[in-house]
Amino acid sequence: MPSQADDKRQAAREVIDILHEISMLLNTHLDRTELSLCVSLIENGVNPEALAIVIKDLRREAASQGHYPDEQIMQE
């Protein structure tokens, strides 16, 4: 019989899977790990709009230095 902790982990995985599907539809280019980190930050009080701005700025900076593999992302 699964424990409560196992049930919580499974539920969290399912939430991230759903968020990842939505993320792919919206072409956010965030993987499951990045989404998990974003969710955790937001759950801990980080402003979602501010987080989005930081992610965009970091991507722009990485692209300008040639570190981001898909420059089309920067055009969105």
**What digits encode the pLDDT tens for the residues 31-58?**
999 999 999 999 999 999 999 999 999 9
Place of tokens 């700025």: 57
Q: Report pTM.
A: 0.75
Average pLDDT score, the chain:
88
* φ, ψ (nearest 5 deg) of residue 41: -60, -45
C-alpha span between 20 and 14 (Å, rounded)? 10
